[in-house]
Structure 1
């Protein structure tokens, strides 16, 4: 079958497009999907590069997020029929494996997965939209609501707002009535974030985002009415040199929400701000099946939009990888066989 796979860890040159990759065959408890859409995440870049302390079986087909239709059912599988429209929960919650990392993912014509990882797609949700929901959108929902408790009237800053997680955070914050400040690196991205509902947009390449937040909401202080100055919530899953600045944007009792560290996991720290301002640092690790189902439900109701930046084929999937790696994406990129 046709597939785009990672031959070994390294740069873009280790990715290969093949027309004779081994066919997907269902074993007991598994199904084969005809892939209709797969979306890339920065996790796929980390899989290609290699991650410290993690050994992966290579070659592997990347693509955590897979939407398609059931074309083959293995023994001992119940509740599914040929032709069912499904999206895959990328995390195997029994073996702890991950689609597109420890087993082949969605950048192929067909994909084989354990049946217990299937999630049914609502009738009025298309495959592209469904493929957006698991990794980025479900992660955002868990971070924002389950762990972050974002609520109406709060002032929420979102770093990396133009990425897959970020565009969902913007929508979810507005859905509950929060005031949103979105940060991005170009005028085009900022304009489109405005269209999504962001109340304020800041180009962090041209302006110091900390100074801009202080100009909008005042400089946080422990004393008097100034204790309410600053953001209530700052979403920072980039890490790196933005971490300490994020702490300085928050009011007394403010919250930092994080679900990753795409720009560096070991930033210089200044923990004085955490205790002096009684800040809360709330981590969120991926998502649950219920988070995926909730995102699909919101999409079905028209309350959550899958923002798709560009669509690629397997033959030009290398261009999709480059677009994600170079952070030229607003929302998500889709690869269709």
Structure 2
């Protein structure tokens, strides 16, 4: 195929899209202002679940396609960072979810001893994002792609260097496109030593600004969280951190005494609907927009990457 493509952005959306294109034979370069380990994706929890993403009728199929890929990757957890982990989603009933939920193997109503408040039980992919981002970067290199540290101030810079550009800039699309409908939803996390917890727990209460969840990873327990709309600060707030620990400790009291390892803040790139759209520019170049995944970038990454790559392929 030998067409050159520049993918702008090195979060999970950018890297997964770049890898998908490279595996189709495109010559792919990723341009990124910061390395993958410093992106919002690196901060993610990251449990597979269609959270804060629209439109639901498209997010469901994207999520299921990604689920199938993560199940395969979970066979090599040390390499890929993906493990299948059981847990409960408190307060959610099976009938309240979209059609996608009927395709999730093993998803069922939680038993009383599993979740006294009622909810769902499922065994889902839980992704150690620093490991997974390294895996994506390594697979991209194996497929012939490269990652370049470069701050992009205008998408025209990329179009001047390649006939195809894929805009995976997340919140950066707000100024680069520009698209003011992309808004931050601030998420704060607390990392603690794991006191022996091996299941995940989520209680989001819809789009509450103060959800409670914890995710067990090999070297830490990730506690969350927040969902503060239009909040731009990336500095951890000590009062919020303390409240996160208290909320999680109400579910598992042993969390209260766990040693704190660190704090993380990420800004989810929310939009009324994900934008995956091709635009033929005046100079003949192709620009594919691929952003606005909110809190579900990991969940839909592979399905959305295929759709974005299809737009490149179909444009010839």
Normalising by structure 2, we get a TM-score of: 0.31
* Structure with max Cα Rg: 1
More helix by share: 2
Higher relative CO (Cα under 8 Å, sequence separation at least 6) belongs to 2
